[in-house]
Amino acid sequence: MKQAGFPLGILLLFWVSYITDFSLVLLIKGGALSGTDSYQSLVSKTFGFPGYLLLSTLQFMYPFIVDPGSWFISRHFIIAVSTVTCTLPLSLYRDIAKLGKISFISTILTSVILGIVMTRAISLGPNIPKTDNAWVFAKPNAIQAVGVMSFAFICHHNCFLVYGSLEEPTVAKWRRIIHTSILVSVFICVLFATCGYLTFTGFTQGDLFENYCRSDDLVTFGRLCYGITVILTYPIECFVTREVVANVFFGGTLSSVFHTILTVVIVTAATLVSLLIDCLGIVLELNGVLCAAPLVFIIPSACYLKLSEEPRTHSDKIMACILFPVGAVVMVAGFVMAITNPQDCTHGQEMFYCFPGNASLANISWSHLQLTAQRSFRNLSTFQ
C-alpha cells in the first residue's frame, strides 16, 4: 500500500489475486492437455530441456529464499534452536498431505495475528500522525507492490503436489478449491494491508512488525505467532525444493538416507541465509519479481498458449496473451526498482513514536516529525 498508493494498492491486490486464481487453473488445464502431473514435466514437455532447467531453477529459488524465521529476540540462537527442534523434523516428512494438516495450525495463527493488527489499528493508529500524500490514488513504485503481492499469493510451485494429493483430482474440483482459497486469502490480505497502512501510512516498513514498539506485549505475542506460522509453513516449501533437486539430479527418487541428507543440507543452507538477512522487504520484492512473477504470469501462460488448440478468440487464450507481457514488465521493471529503491527497514530500531513524551504526536508538524525521527535513528545507530 505504501509503494503503490492506498486506493491503487487495493485494486492491484484484487487484480493479482484474480491472476493467481486464473493461472493456477490454467496450470492444471495445461497438465491435462499434456498428460503430465507436475509443473516440471509440463514445462519439459512443452519447451524441452531448457524450459525444464529454467523452471527448476525458479522452483528451487522461490521456496529456498523464503526466510524461515527472523522475528525473535536473540534471533540467531532462537532460529538455530527452532530449526533443529521444529523446522527440520517437519521437513523430513515425505507426504505433503501430512504437512497440509500441520500448516492448518498456521492458518489459525494468521487469524490471531490479523486480530492483533486490527486491534492496534484502533488503539495505536490515532496516536500516529498521517504522512503527506498518504491517500493519493497511485504512486510510482506500484510495480514493486505487484512483486510483493505476487510473492504473497504464489503457490504454483507446489500446486501439482497439492492437486495430486486430492482423493479425486479433477479440474472442476481443483477450480472450486482454488476459487475458495484465493477468496479467503485476498480477504485476509486486504484486512492486513488496510489495517497496517491505516495505522502507519508513510511510516510503514517492509516488515510491518518493525513498526510496532518493543514494549507492546500484545504485538510481541503476535511476533511469536508469526514465527510459529513460518516454522509450520516452511516444510511445505522445503518439500518443493527437495523434489526439484531429486528430479534434476536423482531421477525423482530418493532413498531414506539421501532424503534425510538432502533435507538437512537444504534446511541448513536456508537457515544460514536467514541468519544473514534481517530485513524482510527486499527479500519479498526480489523474490516476487524474479521468481513469483515468472511462475505466476509468464510460464503458465506460455505453456497454455502452446498446448491449447482453442481458437485465438477464446477467453483463456486472450487472458494468457495479456499475462505474458505483463509478467515480463513486472519482472524486469520490478527488479530494477527493487535494486534502486528498496523498501525501508530499520531492524531493531524503535520508531520515534515509541519514545516517552510523544503522546501528543498528532499536534506536531510533519517537518518536525521527520527531523525528530532522523535524530532518533542517528542516536540509536551511534549508541549501537
119 lies in the same domain as 220:
yes
User: Dihedral of CA 121/17/298/251: which sign?
Assistant: positive
181 lies in the same domain as 72:
yes
Closest to 140 in 3D by CA, of 3, 257, 253? 3
**Does residue 107 form part of some domain?**
yes
Contact (CB, 8 A) for 117 and 208? yes
- Per residue in 31-68, pLDDT (tens digit) is 988 998 888 889 999 998 888 888 888 877 766 555 54
**Does residue 314 form part of some domain?**
yes
244 lies in the same domain as 383:
no
325 lies in the same domain as 379:
no
Domain of 163, in residue numbers: 6-348
96 lies in the same domain as 139:
yes
- Per residue in 310-345, pLDDT (tens digit) is 888 888 899 999 998 998 988 888 888 888 876 656
pLDDT in tens, the chain (384 residues): 888 999 999 999 999 999 999 999 999 999 988 998 888 889 999 998 888 888 888 877 766 555 544 444 456 777 778 888 888 888 888 777 777 777 788 888 999 999 999 999 999 999 898 888 888 999 988 888 898 888 888 888 778 878 888 888 888 999 999 999 999 999 999 999 999 999 999 888 878 888 898 889 999 999 989 888 888 888 888 887 888 888 888 877 788 888 899 989 988 888 887 777 766 667 777 778 888 888 888 999 999 999 988 888 888 899 999 998 998 988 888 888 888 876 656 666 788 888 866 544 433 334 444 444 444 444 444 334
335 lies in the same domain as 374:
no
**Does residue 59 form part of some domain?**
yes
**Does residue 238 form part of some domain?**
yes
75 lies in the same domain as 110:
yes
305 lies in the same domain as 370:
no
219 lies in the same domain as 357:
no
239 lies in the same domain as 378:
no
142 lies in the same domain as 128:
yes
Q: Give the predicted TM-score (pTM) of the model.
A: 0.77
- Region class of 93: left (phi > 0), else alpha (psi between -120 and 50), else beta: beta
CATH number at residue 64: 1.20.1740.10
Report the run of H or E that residue 26 belongs to, with start and end.
Answer: helix 6-34
229 lies in the same domain as 361:
no
**Does residue 1 form part of some domain?**
no
**Does residue 103 form part of some domain?**
yes
**Does residue 175 form part of some domain?**
yes
User: How many distinct structural domains can be found in the chain?
Assistant: 2
